[in-house]
Chain A
Amino acid sequence: QVQLVQSGAEVKKPGASVKVSCKASGYTFTSYYMHWVRQAPGQGLEWMGIINPSGGSTSYAQKFQGRVTMTRDTSTSTVYMELSSLRSEDTAVYYCARGAHIVVLQGWFDPWGQGTLVTVSS
């Protein structure tokens, strides 16, 4: 079955960086976009960006431009999201979610990873 498994919880100090991984299985990794979405405690869903696992091209939400980097490793079917210059407001659960087939950009997000809690605290 299609599955996304994310790395474990992280605790970081302000100003540090965090790199979260998302390992895909059960489908052709390079055929579907991957999105990253975050959710602050008790808050809604916030889209961060998208990566095309085939060519590695990315598009980021303006809010995170300059601080986020999304990469992929096709040999292990894993995508990564690195967020730098962390501040307390970045404390959130970070989700990867499979998007549409790469021949179209629009589409639903399914499945989602289980989420990775990143806590930023001094």
Chain B
Amino acid sequence: DIVMTQTPLSLSVTPGQPASISCKSSQSLLHSDGKTYLYWYLQKPGQPPQLLIYEVSNRFSGVPDRFSGSGSGTDFTLKISRVEAEDVGVYYCMQSIQLPPTFGQGTKVEIK
């Protein structure tokens, strides 16, 4: 199975300040079809996860442009340009290049 490792595991951010989360995979997530199957989700308290970013850097429908994703191969980053109160929750990266899909441990983001 592909192991997904996120850092940091928790983050306390002042509103309006940037935040960054790293995700590393134990194998390359670049498929022979040219796509990289790395996703980012946010799970707000008491809710199911919601998709933020697909295929490394594409914002899902309705996701604010303060969220951005980057990276390639095995190293990926989610950035929030200016954190808002509604961004609190746990962020997960996920790979689906092969079964089983696997998730990072999660990064808990709170507001200072």
Contact = CB atoms under 8 A, between A and B. Distances in A.
Nearest to A49: B100
A109 B60 CA distance: 11
Interface in B32-81: 35, 37, 39, 41, 43, 48-51, 54, 60
A49 to B, nearest CB: 8
Interface residues of A, number: 23
A45 B49 contact: yes
A15 to B, nearest CB: 26
Contacts, number: 57
Contacts of A47: 100-103
Interface string A78-122: 000000000000000001010110000111111011110000000
Contacts of B99: 50, 59, 105
Interface of A: 35, 44-47, 50, 59, 61-62, 95, 97, 99-100, 105-110, 112-115
Interface of B: 31, 35, 37, 39, 41, 43, 48-51, 54, 60, 92, 94, 96-106
